[in-house]
Structure 1
């Protein structure tokens, strides 16, 4: 795995949400993601009646997940194929206090729906984070040079 891929997955692990939507709908919604680096997949826990779940119920859809976290210095647009999953073992693995807040019957709630985003590409802007940003801006004012805002790259999965 490349250094860029390691950086991407490491920073993505340290963030917990982004905006997810299918490319055939302009509407993106906030969703917590759960990264599976080895499989190249992001998982989401949602309810069966949501727009995303209903859209994915008609078949696999091209989708986008946008993550913006200044503290972690990660800004990324992730593309992939969104599908439904009934993988109960994966739900057991992902289940946490945040997810339980949304479902009255816990993991057994019949309304739970797993979404699986198989990644195809990610465009990434990786910075040093918010403190580094402030330092780079101040440094540019003193030196007259443009600030170093980090790396910009694309990953293919």
Structure 2
């Protein structure tokens, strides 16, 4: 509940989003859509560069969680955190598989290959990214995306 000094509209725009999704292609799509909606709440219109960049990073990390991190009976989690001062969005996608971690160095995808470019895209779009163990099981892949000032409020 906002205090009397706080702008109620600003208080309604939480600086984070945390949701769980089924570990399926539909879940990955819903995670991307949730990220775009949240970016809009934070003042970055769906068609803005910031929103499109975050949507692409979320899509790649969610697709990897579904394809490589799926564990029977477990969902994956999306966490977005907005640092307004730094104008940075931290994207975290957590899954239940600790066995399949991103490679220490990114492989080069063959020019005619149908996959293998997801983390290369994340590497280009994010200021930095990495992975960490998740307790009690699994891993979290995170990326920090510079978004600039909100385009709308």
The alignment's TM-score, normalised by the length of structure 2, stands at: 0.31
Structure with greater helix percent: 2
Structure with greater strand percent: 1
Choose 1 or 2 for highest CA Rg: 1
